[in-house]
Every structure is written in C-alpha cells, then in structure tokens.
Amino acid sequence: MAIANNKTKAKLKKASKPQVKKILKSKDNKKSKTVSKALKNKKQATKAQTKSLVNKSLKSSSTIKSNSSKIIKNNFLNIKINGKDYKVKKGSTILEACRVAGIEIPTLCFLKDINEIGACRMCVVEVKGAKALVTSCVYPCNEGIEITTDSKTVIESRKKTLELLLSNHKMECLSCIRSGECELQTLCKELGVEDQYKYAGSMTASNLDESSAHMIRDNSKCILCRRCVAICEKVQGVGVIGPNKRGFNTFIGSHFDKGLGETSCISCGQCINVCPTGALYEKSDIDKIFELIKDPTKKVIVQTAPAVRAAIAEEFGYPIGTKGEGKMVAGLRRLGFTYVFDTDFAADLTIMEEAYELIDRIKNNGVLPMITSCSPGWIKYCEAYYPDLLPHLSTCKSPQQMFGAMIKTYFVKKMGWKVEDVVSVSVMPCTAKKFEIQRDDESAAGKGNPDLDYTMTTRELARMMKKAGINWDLLPEEKFDEPLGISTGAGVIFGASGGVMEAAIRTAVDVLTGKDMKNLDYKQVRGIDGIREATLKIGKLDVKVAITSSMSNAKILLNKIREGKADYHFIEIMGCPGGCINGGGQPQVPAFIRNTTDYRQKRAKVLYDYDKSMQYRKSHKNPIIKQVYKEFLEKPNSHIAHKILHTSYQKREKT
C-alpha cells in the first residue's frame, strides 16, 4: 500500500492531531514517494501505469483522512456541565474542563503543576453517580461525565468551607496588608458570606515570625493551603518550611520550630507571591524613608530596577504588560526624593565588569564556567548548598549594590557632599535585596556606610505612593535624572531571564572582535524555559552558555559542574522563576491568572520593547559609563573598580 506500514499505523492510533500531521509527512508514509515516482517517470511509464500509481496514492490519502479523524475524535471526551454539552481533551480535570466552558471554579490551594492536592475543598462540584461532592482540581473527566457546578448543595458547601476557615482566621481585614487583594476576602464577597463569626471559637495558637531580614510570617492569617510549602520545595528546591504538628494544632513553620531567619531560606519571597492571604508579607521601611525625605539635612537618592517599570502599573489596576517607567519616575519625584536614578546605569556597569572578567578567565585559564552574581537569592543559595562552587561566581556586586557604591563614592565626591548626609534607597522587584544590603563586603565608602541604606519592593513603592495621595492616572510621563539615569537597552533587559547573558554577550562580542556588531538580539538565550543552552560564535571562540532561573533548575546545572560534565564558559542563574520580572517583591498575581496566563512573558515583553526603543543598546556604548571610567574607575577590572564594584562570598551553614 501507498500508506503506512504497521509501525506507522500503531503510531497514528496513539498520536495527537499535531503528531498525526507529522507522521503523515514522515518517511514511513510512502504516499508522497509514490506520487513523486509516478510523476518523475511518466515519460517512461504508460498512461495506464501512471494513472494506477496516482489512484493508489489518492486511495491511501482517503484512508489517512479517515484514520486521522478517528484519532482526533479519540483524543476528546463528550461531557456535560450544568446540563450543556462540551468536548474536552482527554486527561482534563473537571477544573480544566470548566475553564474551557467559561466557568471559573473557586480555589484556594491549587497551583497548576505545583500544588494539586485538593486540600482547601473550595473547588467541590457534583458529579452524577458520585457518593459525595468531588474536588474538581484533581478529579479527572471521563466520557459522558455529568458535572454540576452551581447547585445549592455546591454553593452551600463552598460557603461553609469559607466560614470554617474564618473561624480560625484573625479578622483584621481593614488593616491587613492584603485588604482588597486577598483571595480569601474576594471569595467571601463572591459567595455571600455574611456572618464571619458563625463558627467562632478556639483558634490555633500562633506568633509572628520576624526573624528573617526580608519578611514576616503571621500564622494567625494562614489557611493551611500549603502553596508556600509547594513553591519552596518544588520550584525553589529549598524546602525550609512545611506543616508542623497535627489536627487543629497544625501550622506552617520550619523544622524544630525554628524562626525562618535561622534556616537556609534564600529570601526569594516566592512564598509571599503565592500566599492567598496576608499570612506572609515583606518587612517594610517606607515610614522611615518618608521621615528621611522630610529631613532637610538629608539627600535621599533613589534608584529603580528594570523589572519594576514592567509591573508597577498593575498595582494601580492596569493590565499585566503595561509600561510604567515614565509615571513611576514622576511619582518618585512627587514623593520628594532628591534624585531619581535608574539602576540600569549600574546594570551597564555590571556588564562592563562582568564581561571583562569573563574574557580574562577564558584567556588566562581562570575558573570556568563563570556564573553571574546579580541575584542575591541565588548567591545565598550557593553559599549554603554549594559552597565548594563559590570560586565559579563572578566577583561583581549586583547592579543595586554597584549603584549604591557609586553614589557614596563617585557621585558624593562629584557633588561635594558629605557621605553621612546621603541616604541611598532602591526600589527592587526582589525581597532578597533586603538581605543583600546587610551583607559583609558591601560598603565601598568605608565601614559604617553601607552601599545601600534601604530597599523597598515594587509593592511597597505602590503603597508609598497611595499613602502620599499620588494619583497614578494623573501622573505625566517623566524621565530619570541625569547623569546616572542614562542607560542602555542592555541594562533594561537585566530584568528578564537571559537578559544578563544577552547584555554581556553584546559587549563581549564587540571587545573580542574589535567590531561594532549589528546583531543585537540573541533570542536563543531568551525565554522562561527551565534550562536553555547555546553555543555562540564570539570572534574565533565558540562560547558555550547556559541560562536558568529558580533554584530547582540551578541545582541541575550545579550538579553537572560538580560532576565535571559542564563544559560551559558562562552561566546565568536567577533566583526567581522567570527572573526579576517574577521577583518576590512584584505585584501579586491571583491564582486563577497565575494558572492560566503567561504573565511572566507579558512583563518580559515590556523590557524587550524598551530595549528596542533605546538610543544605546550596548553597555559599553553608554556615554556616562565611558565618562565614569575616564574620571574615576580607570578601566574595567582595575584596582579601584575591584575595590568599589566587586565583593566576596562566604560559606553558610545549611540548616
């Protein structure tokens, strides 16, 4: 026959629709070869022979179409939801099937591929023939299943679950940091919970855990959804929190009831991002910053990270993927900061130091692969879990710390100020920055003068603006102050996973080739996939690189280095999945959006769009970077550059 042998038929029976198309075009399908042969040899063949060959081919094509329809049909199920007929893919859960039908079933514990445990019981539905209500997030659809999502029994069950959760929940909604953005509060409103004290009684004992540098845990508002546990263990690969005790006394905490600050927590804040209530939140210094701004003897200088502009508008009701740079700058000015600068300037500085450090290691047999050092959560992880690999880390400070160091050395000297009168503040997408500013060897201006005095998250800046009565909608578009507000597209893309790598490559290629290369978009290193690898031609060198984000993925690369199987030259690691655009201090994304929308790509697109629009797109092309080296730093990796812009690391006990 002109089609498929038995092997191909077996493949077709199991294949999905895209796979069917692929198989039909493969070498196992002889149809195309048969037709080709008939047409090619028609001069030698008789008309009858040619017609016979083509007819066989057409007959087999009809068979293929028939088989393909059966396969496609077999990949779908016929189901009923609330009395209406739907087709859904095989393997779908009821929750997924209902979303296809445009019905959003409430959840409090569910996170797709991360926390699918059916623990909160909010997603219950009726299934015809089932003895009791079933949890839709884990219950699979089958042919002919009949589901009811809106019966009185279902609604009352969900409502009662909320009332029971509230019975063990500290009711401080008006003063709670998550008021208006709390998933528990939202569901109570949607389901019409009127008596929040209906089942009032004893409550599980709890205390505030304020032991860590970056966050506070308030278990009196915890609903035991275990999202924080799942993301810490499965995504970040740290696993320092989990459920302690049993029954009514269950609480989320660390082993042996230790405070979070006594563990190997990496301060990434991903647990805060997924918490549905106000049980987890960052430590805040915005009241202190307000006071310092009003102090006439102080000059309070602020810098903002690239990822902040890609997300801050969300805090004011704008869609994910809205640009926010201009209004953010205007808002910071109205808060009263002396200067509003761009961390991207220091990102350009980081690239100069890091690219030249990489080139030096490659040329002089230094420790390879070299790994980026911009993410303080990743650095803390390496110090605790892989201290033997610390020599692989770039010695460059992060852009935040470089900027703070330059403010308190170069800029203070240029302005004729006393360093004691300057307060250095940053706005970051990252909670680990709160830990980083307390690290040793981060005081370029001398002991007692840290590079950064305060750092706040994107969320905190939004709260600060709201507290000051600043109306985001009415703000004009303004530009950063000069000179340290001038940056390049290379600095902007630092906020997305792969951005540091791409920025470094843009400079390294020019340095090694001695040419001004026109190809600036290294798309092979972009994206949010777990681990990305590429071999890049830089001059005469084949430079092998790898990019990853989240510590569970980093662990794979680090183990390869330990085993001597990593032949990379350069590795970029970011502590948070997707990079800084998904940092622990970014606007919180409700679970139903997190589960169904690629919000990280939307934020990353903002940064790449900014990059394309910039006058300068390579760090070494930044005129202020050139000026700073000429006036102060001499050259990349010089003695003074090392003193001010580089740091050291230490082994930490893993607990």
Q: What is the DSSP string of 239-285?
A: ---EEES-GGG-EEE-GGG--GGGTT-----HHHHH-SSSSEEE---
What confidence score (pLDDT) does residue 68 get?
Answer: 47
What is the distance between the alpha carbons of residues 259 and 99, in angstroms, rounded to a whole number?
A: 40
What confidence score (pLDDT) does residue 522 get?
Answer: 85
What confidence score (pLDDT) does residue 530 get?
Answer: 80
Give the per-residue SS3 of 280-311.
EEECCCHHHHHHHHHCCCCEEEEEECHHHHCC
What confidence score (pLDDT) does residue 38 get?
Answer: 42
What confidence score (pLDDT) does residue 58 get?
Answer: 53
- Kindly tell me the burial class for residue 516, based on how many C-beta atoms sit within 10 Å of its own C-beta (0-12, 13-18, 19 or more): exposed
What confidence score (pLDDT) does residue 510 get?
Answer: 87
Question: 236 vs 258, 278, 413, 459, CA distance in Å?
Answer: 20, 21, 42, 22
pTM over 0.75: yes
Return phi, psi of residue 416, to 5°: 75, 30
What confidence score (pLDDT) does residue 19 get?
Answer: 55
* Sites in the chain below the pLDDT cut of 70: 1-73
Question: Tokens 């149809």 belong to which residue?
Answer: 31
What confidence score (pLDDT) does residue 31 get?
Answer: 44
What confidence score (pLDDT) does residue 517 get?
Answer: 83
**515: helix, coil or strand?**
coil
What is the distance between the alpha carbons of residues 505 and 536, in angstroms, rounded to a whole number?
A: 9
Name all contacts of 407-412 with Cβ < 8 Å and 24+ positions apart: 407/301, 407/303, 407/341, 407/451, 407/484, 408/444, 408/445, 408/449, 408/451, 409/444, 409/445, 409/632, 409/644, 410/628, 410/631, 410/632, 410/633, 411/301, 411/484, 412/445
Report whether 485 contacts 340 (CB < 8 A): yes
What confidence score (pLDDT) does residue 540 get?
Answer: 79
What confidence score (pLDDT) does residue 60 get?
Answer: 55
pLDDT digits (tens, 9 = 90+) for 123-169: 999 999 999 999 999 999 999 999 999 999 999 999 999 999 999 99
